[in-house]
Amino acid sequence: VTRAHVVIVGAGFGGISAARALRGANADVLVVDRRNYHLFQPLLYQVASGLLDPSEIAQPVRTLLRHQRNADVRMNEVRAIDLERRVVRTDAGDLPYDHLIVAAGAVTNHFGNRDIAAHTLALKGLNDALTLRGEVLERFERAAECADERERRRLLTFVIAGAGPTGVEFAGALCELFSHLLPKDFPRLDFAPVRVILIEGRNRVLEAFRPRLAAKAEEVLRRRGVEMVFGRRVVGADERGIRLDDGTRIESATVIWTAGVRASWLGEQLTEKVGRLGRVAVRPTLQLAGHDEVQVIGDMAELGDRGEVLPMLAPVAIQQGEHAGRNVIAQLGGGAATPFRYRDKGTMATVGRNHAVVQLGPIRLSGFIGWLMWLFVHLLYIITFRSKAVVLLNWAWNYIFYDRPARLITEISPDIGTDTSNEEATR
């Protein structure tokens, strides 16, 4: 009797939790990812702002699955999925499967605007974060030697497009960096022209939060020096700056694009017609229509829950991963997959130094208490014990000394995970 082959595409929150749910299964589990690491995305902005190092929020997939005897890992790029032959095609050959769990996540979405793709920086992968860190620090180096006042202003203007959690958290972190730390490194530079501008198409920050909590966050951001522009979208970008939909031009040397994500382009291998933001419609069991052996989870899956489509969030992916694993175990035992139900455990976001907004069912917290809660939950979910220890150490260090450890400009090539390359590859 040959054991069943379960292939999991993607080693993000969904893929890893699916693999772990299959720990006791009588099957060979193979996790495929083009990276060798699992990334704790919620803290990515802290790498970009120089507070944490890559190895503190990313762990090798192999290390995470080291103690799971039935699991193996391949670092390969998935090129295609052949649903008829039940084969995943990679850059290093084919992987046949009896059960497939697709958890390839999401990529930055420039909504087809090539100017925006070319002239803005993303904040989605580890290489994005390292590039962004280097670029931000480099602007201050250039400003320090720049004699032209107008150019210096442009160099010191930082635009963040999109006021979701990533945009808001990064804006807060940037302000902290600019107000507490960099003035010590650049004692001769005038920091008055430094601007952090947050641009959002809706009329407030943090759409996923209640208006009152969002208003709190806005208040804190404003106090820390973030300028906010609501009801406006970035529609153009070039070497010198950006253009808004009302015609306003903002001269800026650094534009960070957090205004959209879309599901991985791999979705187009699974269905003839992808849904909104490239997601793949799945049945309530997470299974693909017509393919009981294929489940799609996390950011890639389009699934309604009490009348609303589930958001692209880590907790959804984690819970769906667990569920998908259980479904496979049920199917291996001759049973059937069961419908997925999402348990909303709440949302939270930090807004710079010791302030966070937290929404947990009926509980709403903000300020320092919220921040402690945020800290506790994030530490809890960081996967390895060592990372928990080192991240806490770095946070404490920064809290006490206002000093971020990781302010190095290393040379990084652009992340191949952004949708620009995928668009080119797929289109």
Of the ranges 100-108, 141-149, 237-245, 372-380, which one interacts with a second copy (CB under 8 A)? 141-149
Look up tokens 């997939």; give the residue. 61
Indicate the residue among 28 and 268 with the shorter CB distance to a second copy. 28
| Piece in contact with a second copy (CB under 8 A), picked from 68-76, 113-121, 310-318, 368-376 | 68-76
Looking at residue 2, the DSSP 8-state letter turns out to be P
Told to check if 2 binds a second copy by CB under 8 A, we report no
| Nearest distance in Å: CB 224, a second copy | 23
Residue 108: CB minimum distance to a second copy, A: 16
Is the Cβ of residue 156 or residue 163 nearer to a second copy in the bound state? 156
Considering 149, 151, 169, 207, which one is annotated as catalytic? 169
Whether residue 52 contacts residue 129, with contact meaning beta carbons closer than 8 Å, is answered with no
Residue 54 sits in the site that holds a second copy (CB under 8 A) = yes
Q: How far is the CB of 63 from a second copy (least distance, A)?
A: 6
What distance in Å separates the CA atoms of residue 318 and residue 149, rounded to the nearest whole number? 49
- Contact yes or no for 327/285 (Cβ under 8 A): yes
State the number of binding residues for a second copy (CB under 8 A): 50
For a second copy, the closer CB: 342 or 397: 397
The reply to whether 405 sits near a second copy by the rule CB under 8 A is: yes
- Indicate whether 145 belongs to the interface with a second copy (CB under 8 A): yes
Task: Examine residue 66 and tell whether it contacts a second copy (CB under 8 A).
Answer: yes
Compare residues 380 and 410 and give the one whose CB is closer to a second copy.
410
Is residue 44 within 8 A of residue 1, CB to CB? The reply is no
Q: Which is nearer to a second copy, 181 or 228 (CB)?
A: 181
Instruction: Work out the end-to-end distance of the chain between its first and last CA atoms, rounded to an integer number of angstroms.
Output: 43
User: Which residues, 6+ apart, have CB-to-CB distance to 343 below 8 Å?
Assistant: 319
Residues 6+ away with beta carbon under 8 Å from 105: 10, 12, 14, 263, 264, 298, 299, 300, 317
423 part of the active site: no
Q: Counting contacts by CB under 8 A, is residue 36 touching a second copy? A: yes
Q: Do 169 and 45 form a contact (C-beta atoms < 8 A)?
A: yes
- The single-letter DSSP state of residue 203 is S
Cβ at position 141, least distance to a second copy in Å: 4
Please tell me whether residue 94 adopts helix, strand or coil conformation.
Answer: strand
403 binds a second copy (CB under 8 A): yes
d(CA 257, CA 198): 10
Distance CA 242, CA 340 (A): 43
CB of 389 to a second copy, least distance (A): 8
Q: What CA–CA distance (Å, rounded) separates 395 from 102?
A: 35
Binding mask 333-372 for a second copy (x = CB under 8 A): ----------------------------------------
Note whether 306 binds a second copy by CB under 8 A: no
Q: How many residues in the chain?
A: 427
- Give dist(CA 425, CA 144) in Å, integer: 40
For a second copy, the binding residues in 107-136 under the rule CB under 8 A are 126-127, 130
Q: CA angle, 280 as apex, 276 and 282 as ends, to 5°?
A: 120
64 Cβ partners below 8 Å, 6+ apart?
Answer: 16, 38, 383, 384
Write each residue from 69 to 108 as x if it is in contact with a second copy (CB under 8 A), else as -, in one continuous string. x--xxxxx---------------xx---------------
Rounded distance, CA 242 to CA 253, Å? 9
Query: If 0-12 CB within 10 Å is exposed, 13-18 middle and 19+ buried, where does residue 46 land?
Result: buried
Asked if 379 touches a second copy (CB under 8 A), the answer is no
CB of 46 to a second copy, least distance (A): 13
Interaction site with a second copy (CB under 8 A): 35-37, 53-56, 58, 60, 62-63, 66, 69, 72-76, 92-93, 126-127, 130, 137-138, 141-142, 144-145, 184-188, 386, 390, 393, 397, 403, 405-413, 415-416
- The residues that are catalytic are 169
